[in-house]
């Protein structure tokens, strides 16, 4: 699911609730983009390919949306292609390199900028008549704009926040924190108190270190991970402060030991996470992970603002859960644009997809689907509505090479937690490795 969110692709996000291994087609059609012909050209039949990542439920819903689009657009057929997150982007990279990219491509995080800078994505101003963007939330729309060019349209919006299990708080005799005032010091203290008052094997918090968490933490300090011109913005002092805190939490038992934290990276399925297993009271993550985590844990999980939001400038942001982009090599740009328009701007598609790809950013679509939301989807929508007035500025999306950041963070975090690298040394290594990856 994925945000990340990210680029940067956190292990359990809007981008990675999958559990699938294969790539499959959902409808038979020819190759519409960059390769052998997919139709007779403008005004004639068009065969499009539409690629996304996700699980079987998402695939079924997306196929229903495809069928609705085809019914409304006779003469245009759409073949769906999907995979888990890693398999999806590996396949996409191969297809783009072979000039065989799908016509409509789902992206996230830094990928739109990377592919856009390499000329692989269509400037959406070229298809503005078929894809109007005036009803899309501007903050979310900025996630797909780079160097003044709109390369992607948000599928929906979510935010990075804290998922909490109120049952574990109650069992530990603790009240939920006030997310309008709490600090990172409060987060550390509360995590420790929860662990102390909980059975062995249950933790106050999951280790919070991800690229997205570092972005949030550094934004609260006026930095962020990247500068608008493609450099590094986060400081060594901020990185050292972060890892000093998380190392202290791990050693105190407020978060899991290093061995368990690194072991959990191998399987991001919600039912395998500590939160999904009911073994952690707090976890930083994306707001649209709530339904899958609630289902896995069978607990009434809730969403809170991140710690530290009221202490300085806000670090939370609204982010496109995913982005729909169009291949620059498509033979059918108008038809591809109409498919994207149908997916993001029509209540008909909204009622099918609902909140699976984030909370709709077109207010007309949101108004139409809100009565059909279940409790989990409504909780997400209410949380987004509550934090929208107080989130920070739009995120600076990483430059080309920044998709390496997630792996760098995971490796260095393991080194810190296992005592193989001091926080200050890890901070320096982060700046060196990520700087080299993005050419800073």
Q: Which residue has the higher pLDDT, 150 or 19?
A: 150
Residue 179: what pLDDT? 97
The mean predicted confidence, pLDDT, of the chain is 88
What is the pTM (predicted TM-score) of this model? 0.78
Residue 113: what pLDDT? 84
Sort 167 into a burial class: Cβ within 10 Å, 0-12 / 13-18 / 19+.
middle
Q: Which residue has the higher pLDDT, 13 or 277?
A: 277
pLDDT in tens, 164-209: 999 999 999 999 999 999 999 999 999 999 999 999 999 999 999 9
Distances from the Cα of 42 to the Cαs of 31, 37, 47, 103, 125, in angstroms?
Answer: 15, 12, 12, 14, 18
Largest CA distance in the chain: 68
Inform me whether the pLDDT recorded for 19 exceeds 80. Answer: no
| Mean pLDDT (whole number) for 75-99 | 93
For residue 298, how many other CB atoms are within 10 A of its CB?
10
Residue 58: what pLDDT? 92
pLDDT in tens, 24-49: 222 222 333 333 333 333 446 899 99
Least confident of 7-11, 217-221, 289-293: 7-11
Burial 317-343 (b: 16+ CB within 10 A, else e): bbbbbbbbbbbbbbbbbbbbbbbbbbb
pLDDT in tens, 104-143: 999 987 788 889 988 999 999 999 999 999 999 887 888 8
Q: Quick check: 162 and 302 in contact, CB under 8 A?
A: no
Residue 72: what pLDDT? 96
pLDDT in tens, 366-423: 999 999 999 999 999 999 989 988 999 888 888 889 989 999 999 999 999 999 999 9
- Pull the structure tokens for residue 25: 């087609």
| Mean pLDDT (whole number) for 91-100 | 95
Residue 88: what pLDDT? 94
Residue 267: what pLDDT? 63
Sort 376 into a burial class: Cβ within 10 Å, 0-12 / 13-18 / 19+.
middle
Residues 6+ apart with CB under 8 A from 110: 6, 7, 8, 397, 398, 399, 400, 402, 403
Domains and CATH numbers, the chain: 24-158+320-390 (3.40.190.10), 160-317 (3.40.190.10)
Residue 175: what pLDDT? 98
Q: Are strands 302-304 and 157-164 parallel, antiparallel or unpaired?
A: antiparallel
Inform me whether the pLDDT recorded for 3 exceeds 70. Answer: no
Distances from the Cα of 274 to the Cαs of 201, 256, 279, 280, in angstroms?
Answer: 10, 10, 5, 5
pLDDT above 90 as % of the chain: 73
Q: Quick check: 188 and 248 in contact, CB under 8 A?
A: yes
For the chain, the residue count is: 440
Inform me whether the pLDDT recorded for 288 exceeds 90. Answer: no
CA triple 308-309-315, angle to 5 deg: 105
Confidence of residue 12 (pLDDT cuts 50, 70, 90): very low
CA distance 122 to 114: 13
- Pull the structure tokens for residue 433: 């490795």
Inform me whether the pLDDT recorded for 23 exceeds 80. Answer: no
Residue 44: what pLDDT? 60
Distances from the Cα of 378 to the Cαs of 218, 271, 320, 322, 335, in angstroms?
Answer: 30, 22, 18, 19, 33
């Amino acid at each position: 699911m994925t945000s990340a969110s990210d680029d940067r692709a956190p292990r359990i996000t809007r981008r990675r609730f999958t559990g699938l291994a294969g790539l499959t087609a959902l409808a038979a059609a020819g190759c519409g983009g960059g390769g052998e012909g997919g139709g007779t050209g403008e005004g004639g039949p068009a065969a499009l390919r539409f690629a996304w990542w996700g699980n079987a439920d998402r695939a079924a819903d997306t196929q229903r949306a495809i069928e609705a689009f085809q019914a409304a657009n006779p003469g245009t057929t759409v073949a769906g292609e999907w995979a888990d997150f890693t398999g999806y982007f590996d396949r996409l990279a191969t297809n783009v390199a072979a000039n065989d990219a799908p016509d409509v491509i789902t992206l996230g995080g830094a990928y739109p900028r990377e592919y856009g800078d390499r000329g692989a994505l269509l400037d959406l101003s070229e298809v503005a008549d078929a894809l109007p963007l005036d009803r899309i939330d501007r903050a979310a729309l900025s996630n797909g704009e780079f160097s003044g060019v709109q390369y992607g349209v948000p599928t929906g919006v979510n935010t990075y926040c804290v998922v909490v299990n109120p049952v574990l708080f109650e069992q530990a005799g603790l009240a939920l924190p006030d997310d309008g005032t709490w600090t990172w010091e409060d987060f550390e203290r509360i995590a420790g108190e929860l662990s102390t008052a909980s059975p062995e094997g249950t933790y106050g918090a999951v280790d919070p270190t991800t690229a997205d968490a570092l972005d949030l933490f550094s934004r609260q300090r006026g930095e962020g991970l990247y500068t608008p011109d493609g450099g590094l913005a986060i400081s060594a002092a901020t990185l050292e402060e972060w890892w000093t805190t998380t190392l202290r939490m791990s050693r105190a038992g407020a978060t899991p030991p290093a061995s368990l934290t690194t072991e959990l990276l191998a399987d991001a399925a919600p039912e395998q996470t500590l939160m999904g297993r009911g073994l952690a009271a707090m976890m930083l993550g994306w707001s649209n992970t709530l339904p899958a985590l609630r289902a896995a844990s069978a607990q009434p999980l809730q969403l809170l603002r991140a710690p530290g939001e009221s202490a300085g400038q806000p670090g939370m942001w609204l982010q496109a859960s995913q982005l729909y982009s169009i291949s620059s090599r498509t033979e059918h740009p108008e038809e591809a644009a109409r498919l994207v328009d149908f997916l993001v701007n029509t209540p008909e598609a909204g009622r099918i997809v609902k909140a699976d790809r984030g909370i709709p950013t077109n207010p007309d679509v949101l108004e139409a689907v809100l009565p059909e939301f279940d409790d989990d989807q409504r909780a997400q929508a209410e949380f987004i509505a509550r934090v929208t007035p107080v989130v920070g500025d739009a995120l600076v999306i990483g430059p080309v090479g920044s998709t390496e950041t997630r792996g760098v963070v995971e490796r260095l975090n393991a080194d810190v937690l296992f005592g193989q690298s001091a926080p200050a040394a890890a901070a320096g290594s982060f700046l060196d490795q990520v700087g080299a990856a993005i050419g800073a």
